[in-house]
C-alpha cells in the first residue's frame, strides 16, 4: 500500500517498474492455457493433433505478441497483469467454443467467428491505446456521452431494428448483422457517469435537503439520476432484461458512491433496486419465472431444462472435470453463450471454474488498483466503474449458472460467444490500460491530483 499513499508535496518522483518482459512471459503462458484446451480437445475427440494447429498457433500467439508490442511502445507503464489475465480468459473461452463446435452434427465454426471478433477486439484495443493516449480526453462531453449511451441502451426497443432473442429484447439487427448495443452503452455511460459525477461530486454530496436522514441533492442535479433510474426500469420491464438493468444500475450506484463518498447513495439505490425488482417479480412473467427456476428448478423439468442441465453438467464434471472434449456440454442449451461457465465446469471441473473466477478476481483487482493509483479523479472513477462492470457481470452470470441467484442473461466477459460483448470488453481493457499507464508513469508526487477538466465548474457549491 505504501506506494499508493501519495507523499506530501515534494520533489520525490514515484517510478513504477514497467515489467513489460514479465508481461510477455505471462502473456505467452496465459495464451497456452487456451491453446492447450484446443489441442487437448482434438486429442481427446479424434486421437490426433488438430490439422491446422500450426496456423492456429501462429495466429493466436501472433495476436498476443502484436498486442504486447503495441503496449510495450505506446503504454509502457501499464499494469503488466491485465493483459495476461484477459488473454487467459479469452483463450479458454475460444477453446470451449471450439470444443462445443465439435459436437455433431454438423460441426460448426463459431470458434472461427469468435476468433475474428477477438482479433477485432484486439484491433480496437490497440486503437484505443494509440488514439486515446490520455483518458482525460474522454472527460469532455459527458452529456453527449450520457445521451448517446441512453439511446444505445434503449435502441432495441425501437421498431424495425429491435430484435428479440431468448425472451429478452436486447438486440438490434441491421443488414443481417445483429448487435447488442448495451455493451457499447456500458462504456459510454461509464465515461459519462465518471465525468458527470466527478464534476458534480461536491454538489451531489453536500447540497440539498435532508430527507429521512439522507441528504438529497438539488432537483436539477438529481435529474440525470432519475433519468438513469427510469432507463434501467425501462430495460427491465420493456426489454425483459434483469441482468442489463442490474448492471447499469449497479455501475451507476457504485460510481456515484465513489464520487461523493456518501454511503447514503448505495443505500438509497439498493432500496430503489429492490423495490423495482419486487415490482418486476410481481408484474412481469419473465422475472417471476426466473426466480422460480432459481429456487426450485426441478418443479418444472421442461421449462427449466437449461438451468437443470447446467446443474447436471456440474455434477457430471465433478471436482476435476471430465477433461476437454470428454464431457457433454452440448446437452445444455446455449452452452456457448450464457451457459459457457457450465460447459467449463463440466470439462475442467468445479476447480477449473473456480480458477477462472480467481483470474477474473485478479483482473478486477488490477482494475481497482489502477483506480486507486490513478492521479486524477475522473480516471479513478472510470477505472473503478469499468472494473466494477466486470465484477458484476461475472457475479451475475456465474452466480446464475451455479444457482446462487436467478439466472440473468449477461455475458461472461471475454468467454461467451458474441461479438458485441467481446469488442466492448476489449475496448474497456484498452481504457483501463491507458489509465493504468497514466497512473504508473513517473510523475512528480503531488498531494493534490492534477485537474484537467476543460470545463469550468458550471455549478457553484452553495453550502458547506
Partner 1 sequence: MNGPIRKVTIFVSLLLAALLVNMTWISVARTESLNDDSRNRRVRDAEFSRNRGAILVGNEAIAESVPRTGRFPYVRTYPKPELWSSVTGWYSYNYARSGLEASFNQELAGTSSEQSIGRVVDLLTGRQSSGANIQTTLNADAQAAAVKALGDKRGAVVAMDYTTGEILALVSTPTYDPNRLATVDLSEAQTAWNELLNAADEPLKGRATREVYPPGSTFKLVTAAAALEDGMVPDTMVDAPDSLRLPNSTRSMGNSTNCGGDRITIEQALKTSCNTAFGNLGLDLGGDKLRKQAEAFGFNQDPTIDVAAAKSRFPTELDEAQTALTAIGQYDVAASPLQIVQVAAAIANDGVMMKPYLVSSVTNRDLTVLSSTTPQRQGQPLSASSAKLLQQMMVTVVEDGTGSPARISGLTIGGKTGTAQTAPDRPPYAWFVGYAEDPSVAVVAFVENADVARDDISGGKLAAPIFRAVVEALR
Residue 178 DSSP SS3: strand
Site for partner 1 contains 261 (CB under 8 A): yes
Out of 153, 195, 343, 398, name the contact with partner 1 by CB under 8 A: 398
Burial label for 347, CB within 10 Å (0-12, 13-18, 19+), is buried
Q: How far is the CB of 198 from partner 1 (least distance, A)?
A: 9
Out of 108, 399, 441, 445, name the contact with partner 1 by CB under 8 A: 399
User: If binding means CB under 8 A, how many residues of this protein chain bind partner 1?
Assistant: 47
Site for partner 1 contains 247 (CB under 8 A): no
Residue 308 DSSP SS3: helix
Q: What gap in Å lies between CA 289 and CA 304, rounded to an integer? A: 9
Out of 148, 316, 453, 459, name the contact with partner 1 by CB under 8 A: 316
* C-alpha of 379 from chain center: 17
Out of 80, 84, 217, 313, name the contact with partner 1 by CB under 8 A: 313
Site for partner 1 contains 108 (CB under 8 A): no
Site for partner 1 contains 69 (CB under 8 A): no
Task: For residue 158, give Cα distances in angstroms to 80, 143, 175, 269, 270.
Answer: 42, 22, 15, 28, 29
Q: Which stretch binds partner 1 (CB under 8 A): 35-43, 112-120, 250-258, 284-292?
A: 250-258
DSSP string, 158-170: STTTEEEETTEEE
Site for partner 1 contains 175 (CB under 8 A): no
Q: Which stretch binds partner 1 (CB under 8 A): 49-57, 282-290, 367-375, 453-461?
A: 367-375
* C-alpha of 117 from chain center: 16
* C-alpha of 5 from chain center: 28
Out of 77, 179, 388, 414, name the contact with partner 1 by CB under 8 A: 388
DSSP string, 358-398: HHHHHHHHHHHHHHHH-SSHHHHHHHHHHHHHHHHHHHHHH
Site for partner 1 contains 271 (CB under 8 A): no
Which residues of the shown chain bind partner 1 in the complex (CB under 8 A)?
A: 4, 254, 257-259, 261, 301, 308-309, 311-316, 318-319, 327-328, 331, 345, 350, 353-354, 357, 360-361, 364-365, 368, 371-372, 377, 380-381, 384, 387-388, 391-392, 394-395, 398-399, 402-404
Amino acid at each position: 500500500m505504501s506506494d499508493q499513499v501519495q507523499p506530501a508535496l515534494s520533489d520525490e518522483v514515484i517510478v513504477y517498474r514497467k515489467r513489460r518482459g514479465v508481461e510477455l512471459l505471462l502473456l505467452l503462458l496465459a495464451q497456452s492455457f487456451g491453446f492447450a484446451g484446443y489441442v487437448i480437445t482434438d486429442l481427446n475427440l479424434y486421437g490426433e493433433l488438430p490439422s491446422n494447429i500450426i496456423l492456429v498457433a501462429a495466429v493466436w500467439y501472433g495476436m498476443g505478441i502484436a498486442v504486447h508490442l503495441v503496449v510495450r511502445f505506446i503504454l509502457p507503464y501499464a499494469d503488466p497483469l491485465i493483459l495476461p489475465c484477459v488473454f487467459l480468459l479469452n483463450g479458454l473461452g475460444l477453446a470451449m467454443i471450439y470444443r462445443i463446435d465439435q459436437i455433431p452434427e454438423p460441426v460448426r465454426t463459431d470458434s472461427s467467428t469468435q476468433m475474428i471478433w477477438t482479433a477485432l477486439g484486439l484491433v480496437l484495443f490497440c486503437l484505443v491505446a494509440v488514439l486515446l493516449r490520455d483518458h482525460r480526453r474522454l472527460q469532455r462531453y459527458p452529456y453527449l456521452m450520457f445521451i448517446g449511451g441512453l439511446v444505445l441502451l434503449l435502441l432495441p426497443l425501437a421498431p424495425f431494428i429491435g430484435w428479440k432473442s431468448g425472451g429478452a429484447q436486447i438486440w438490434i439487427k441491421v443488414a443481417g448483422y445483429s448487435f447488442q448495443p448495451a455493451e457499447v452503452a456500458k462504456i459510454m455511460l461509464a465515461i459519462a457517469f465518471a465525468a458527470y459525477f466527478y464534476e458534480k461530486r461536491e454538489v451531489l454530496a453536500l447540497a440539498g435537503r435532508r430527507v429521512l436522514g439522507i441528504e438529497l441533492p438539488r432537483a436539477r442535479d438529481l435529474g440525470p439520476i432519475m433519468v438513469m433510474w427510469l432507463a434501467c426500469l425501462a430495460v427491465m420491464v420493456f426489454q425483459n432484461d434483469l441482468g442489463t438493468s442490474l448492471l447499469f444500475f449497479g455501475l451507476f450506484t457504485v460510481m456515484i458512491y465513489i464520487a461523493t463518498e456518501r454511503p447514503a447513495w448505495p443505500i438509497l439505490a439498493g432500496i430503489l433496486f429492490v423495490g423495482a425488482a419486487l415490482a418486476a417479480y410481481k408484474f412481469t412473467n419473465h422475472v417471476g419465472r426466473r426466480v422460480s427456476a432459481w429456487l426450485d428448478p426441478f418443479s418444472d423439468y421442461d421449462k427449466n431444462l437449461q438451468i437443470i442441465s447446467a446443474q447436471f453438467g456440474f455434477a457430471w464434471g465433478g471436482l476435476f472435470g471430465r477433461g476437454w472434449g470428454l464431457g457433454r456440454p452440448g446437452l445444455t442449451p446455449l452452452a456457448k453463450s450464457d451457459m459457457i461457465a457450465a460447459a467449463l465446469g463440466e470439462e475442467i471441473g468445479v476447480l477449473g471454474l473456480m480458477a477462472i473466477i480467481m483470474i477474473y478476481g485478479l483482473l478486477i483487482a488490477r482494475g481497482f488498483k489502477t483506480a486507486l493509483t490513478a492521479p486524477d479523479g475522473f480516471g479513478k472513477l472510470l477505472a473503478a466503474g469499468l472494473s466494477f462492470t466486470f465484477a458484476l457481470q461475472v457475479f451475475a452470470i456465474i452466480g446464475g449458472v451455479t444457482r446462487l441467484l436467478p439466472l440473468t442473461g449477461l455475458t461472461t466477459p471475454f468467454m461467451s460467444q458474441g461479438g458485441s460483448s467481446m469488442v466492448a470488453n476489449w475496448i474497456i481493457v484498452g481504457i483501463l490500460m491507458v489509465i493504468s499507464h497514466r497512473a504508473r508513469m513517473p510523475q512528480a508526487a503531488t498531494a493534490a491530483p492534477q485537474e484537467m477538466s476543460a470545463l469550468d465548474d458550471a455549478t457553484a457549491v452553495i453550502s458547506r
